[in-house]
Amino acid sequence: MSDTILRFDGVSRDFSSQKGFFGGKRTMRAVDSLTLDVPRGKVTGVVGESGCGKSTLARLALHLLKPTAGHVCFEGNDLAGLTPAALRRQRRHMQMVFQDPYSSINPRFTIRDAVMEPFQVHGVRHTRAEAKDKAARFLEMAGLDPQLAERYPQQLSGGQKQRVGIARALALEPDLIVLDEPTASLDVSIQAQIIALLADLKTRLGLTYLFISHDLGLVRYFCDRIVVMYLGAAVEILPSTDAPHRHPYTRTLMDSAFLPDPERRKTVTAMTGEIPSAFERPPGCAFAPRCSLASSRCYAEKPVLLTTERHPVACHHPLD
Ligand X SMILES: Nc1ncnc2c1ncn2[C@@H]1O[C@H](COP(=O)(O)OP(=O)(O)OP(=O)(O)O)[C@@H](O)[C@H]1O
Taking the C-alpha atoms of residue 98 and residue 285, their distance in angstroms, rounded to an integer, is: 31
Minimum distance of ligand X from residue 228's CB (angstroms): 12
| One residue of 32, 45, 53, 98 binding ligand X per CB under 6 A | 53
52 is a contact residue toward ligand X (CB under 6 A): yes
Q: What is the DSSP letter of 315?
A: -
Site for ligand X in 195-224 (CB under 6 A): 214
93 near ligand X (CB under 6 A): no
Which positions from 218 to 257 touch ligand X by CB under 6 A, shown as an x/- string? Answer: ----------------------------------------
| Chain residues 6-25 in contact with ligand X, contact rule CB under 6 A | 15, 17
Q: What is the maximal distance between C-alpha atoms in the chain? A: 68
Q: How far is the CB of 97 from ligand X (least distance, A)?
A: 15
Number of residues that bind ligand X (CB under 6 A): 13
- Residue 33, interface with ligand X (CB under 6 A)? no
Stretch that binds ligand X, among 51-59, 76-84, 113-121, 241-249 (CB under 6 A): 51-59
Kindly list the distances between the CA atom of residue 79 and the CA atoms of 3, 15, 173, 210, 312, in Å, as whole numbers in the listed order.
Answer: 18, 20, 19, 17, 25
CA distances from 137 to 131, 146, 310, 312 (A): 10, 8, 44, 42
Q: Are 184 and 214 in contact (CB under 8 A)?
A: yes
283 binds ligand X (CB under 6 A): no
For residues 13 and 112, which CB has a smaller minimum distance to ligand X in the complex? 13
In the complex with ligand X, which residue's Cβ is closer, 33 or 160?
Answer: 33
How big is the chain by its Cα radius of gyration, in Å? 21
Cβ neighbours of residue 319 closer than 8 Å, sequence gap 6 or more: 244, 245, 246, 247, 248, 251
Q: Choose, by CB under 6 A, the member of 51, 76, 81, 123 that binds ligand X.
A: 51
Nearer to ligand X by C-beta: 206 or 273? 273
Residues 6+ apart with CB under 8 A from 68: 12, 13, 14, 29
Interface region with ligand X, contact rule CB under 6 A, candidates 50-58, 73-81, 199-207, 293-301: 50-58
Q: Is residue 99 involved in binding ligand X (CB under 6 A)?
A: no
Query: Within 10 A of 121 (CB to CB), how many other CB atoms are there?
Result: 13
Considering the complex, state which of residue 214 and residue 302 has its C-beta at the smaller distance from ligand X.
214
Question: Does residue number 55 form part of the binding site for ligand X (CB under 6 A)?
Answer: yes
> Is-contact 29 232, C-beta < 8 A?
yes
User: Could you tell me which stretch among 2-10, 52-60, 101-109, 238-246 binds ligand X (CB under 6 A)?
Assistant: 52-60
In the bound complex, what is the minimum distance in angstroms from residue 25's beta carbon to ligand X? Answer: 11
281 forms part of the interface with ligand X (CB under 6 A)? no
Cα separation, 282 vs 45, in Å, equals: 27
The amino acid at 85: A
Q: Is the alpha carbon torsion for 84, 89, 90, 91 positive or negative?
A: positive
Q: Which is nearer to ligand X, 111 or 233 (CB)?
A: 233
Which residues fall within 8 angstroms of residue 107, CB to CB, at 6 or more apart?
A: 152, 153, 154
Contact segment (CB under 6 A) with ligand X among 1-9, 45-53, 151-159, 165-173 equals 45-53
Sites of contact with ligand X (CB under 6 A):
15, 17, 30, 48, 50-56, 214, 278
